[in-house]
């Protein structure tokens, strides 16, 4: 690990830095290993958009696509093989981090198909399938925090499978996610699983909240409304940390922790700044607290390394101010409930679009590989 950098300071403050990106090229070039060695990266998250981008470049996948085409693999099977191979290889690269941190970090996440977001049984079935296919203890299965997803989270945790709960936007849904995790741990304990091997993060989205709320504030147009722009994302996440602190100091949670369970850490997702007029480290330096993960696009990682000013803690003393921001938004007529419901629906829809792009990319690649093989015969 590099010493005396803003990234090292972030790690020292208790923030686990995960990269929000993965590709075959990063794996085979040594680029991923280099980020571990030089930039304090201790985990990776993926999603359908990331894989669609990686596969669209394609060169690093050409040999595998050709082999899959020759074997007669369907598009769905090919996507399953390609993505789980990447996650397995990345998990191996991160295994020393996993061992060194006792399983807390060194994690690589892979998401269930987004079309299953409102299908609890289908999500649970695919979570088990992905876990078995990747076959690495430091993998995490990403499950969206839809209402239906809550039951799947409990069922998956109950099987001893580590889960990254994604697409959390509201404080109430965050509480429900924590409850689903604790319920899963209780079932896992009853089934005889070793609770110490089960880990989970709750991925709370940040910048998307500002993007949606800023549009509404601009439409309102008053001086008071404009003054609230780009404050909600950080405030919402800071209050999510308060929810985390409260939930894991409860008698229920403490009993499970005493039995070996781990806390479900908050993970700050969507931390790339969308508005170029804002500081590019806004969603990093304002969300520093112990026992959190910040999953960053590489651009945000590099910006933090270059000029991030990292406080010891920018969350736990900010609850009153954060509550004041949400109260002021309500006074301006911005509905928190509506915003978070819209964002959840949009989040699922965007991942479905990316998933379909991924299927189309692989379909074209398989067809091209078959055509090349055929012309060579």
Model confidence at 169: pLDDT above 60:
yes
Quick one: DSSP state of residue 269? E
Judged by average pLDDT, the poorest of 183-187, 236-240, 274-278, 314-318 is: 274-278
Question: Using an 8 Å Cβ cutoff, are 225 and 332 in contact?
Answer: yes
Please identify which residue in the block is written with the tokens 């993998």.
139
> What per-residue confidence (pLDDT) applies to 172?
98
Plot region of 333 (φ>0 → left; ψ -120 to 50 → alpha; else → beta): left
pLDDT band at residue 377 under the 50/70/90 scheme: very low
Helix (H) or strand (E) holding 142: strand 139-144
Q: Output the DSSP codes for 3-65.
A: -SSHHHHHHHTTEEEEES---HHHHHHSHHHHHHHHS-EEEE---HHHHHHHHHH-GGGHHHH
Helix (H) or strand (E) holding 307: helix 298-307
Q: What's the pTM value of the predicted model, to 2 decimals?
A: 0.96
Question: Using an 8 Å Cβ cutoff, are 129 and 106 in contact?
Answer: no
CA-closest candidate to residue 52, choices 345, 374, 359: 359
**H and E: helices and strands count for the chain:** 17, 8
Please state, for a pLDDT cut of 70, what percent of the chain lies above it: 98
Active site residues: 142
CA-closest candidate to residue 186, choices 109, 85, 256: 256
Distance of CA 41 to the CA centre of its chain: 14
Please identify which residue in the block is written with the tokens 């995790």.
181
pLDDT band at residue 57 under the 50/70/90 scheme: confident
| DSSP three-state, residue 179 | helix
Question: Using an 8 Å Cβ cutoff, are 243 and 174 in contact?
Answer: yes
């Amino acid at each position: 690990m590099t010493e005396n950098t803003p990234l090292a300071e972030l790690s020292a403050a208790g923030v686990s830095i995960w990269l929000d990106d993965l590709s075959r090229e990063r794996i085979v070039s040594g680029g991923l290993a280099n980020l571990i060695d030089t930039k304090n990266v201790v985990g990776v998250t993926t999603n359908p958009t990331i894989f669609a981008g990686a596969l669209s470049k394609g060169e690093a996948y050409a040999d595998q696509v050709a082999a899959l085409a020759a074997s007669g693999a369907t598009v769905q099977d090919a996507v399953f093989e390609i993505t789980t191979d990447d996650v397995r290889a990345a998990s191996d690269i991160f295994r020393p981090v996993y061992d060194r941190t006792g399983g807390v970090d060194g994690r690589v996440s892979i998401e269930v198909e987004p079309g299953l977001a409102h299908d609890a049984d289908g999500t649970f079935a695919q979570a088990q399938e992905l876990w078995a296919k990747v076959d690495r203890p430091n993998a995490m299965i990403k499950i969206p925090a839809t209402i239906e997803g809550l039951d799947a989270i409990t069922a998956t945790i109950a099987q001893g499978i580590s889960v990254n709960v994604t697409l959390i936007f509201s404080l109430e849904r965050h509480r429900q996610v924590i409850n689903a995790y604790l319920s899963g741990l209780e079932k896992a304990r009853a089934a005889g699983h070793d609770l110490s091997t089960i880990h989970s993060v709750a991925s709370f989205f940040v910048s998307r909240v500002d993007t949606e709320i800023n549009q509404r504030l601009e439409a309102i147009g008053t001086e008071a409304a404009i003054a609230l722009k780009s404050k909600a994302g950080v405030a919402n996440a800071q209050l999510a940390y308060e929810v985390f602190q409260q939930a894991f100091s409860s008698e229920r949670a403490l009993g499970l922790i005493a039995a070996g369970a781990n806390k479900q850490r908050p993970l700050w997702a969507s931390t790339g700044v969308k508005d170029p007029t804002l500081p590019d480290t806004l969603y990093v330096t304002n969300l520093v607290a112990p026992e959190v993960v910040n999953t960053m696009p590489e651009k945000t990682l590099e910006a933090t390394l270059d000029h991030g000013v990292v406080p010891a803690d920018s969350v736990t003393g900010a609850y009153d101010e954060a509550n004041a921001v949400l109260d002021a938004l309500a006074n301006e007529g911005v509905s928190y409930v509506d915003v978070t419901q819209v964002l959840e629906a949009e989040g699922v829809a965007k991942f479905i679009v990316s998933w379909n792009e991924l299927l189309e990319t692989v379909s074209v690649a398989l067809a091209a590989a078959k055509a090349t093989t055929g012309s060579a015969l």
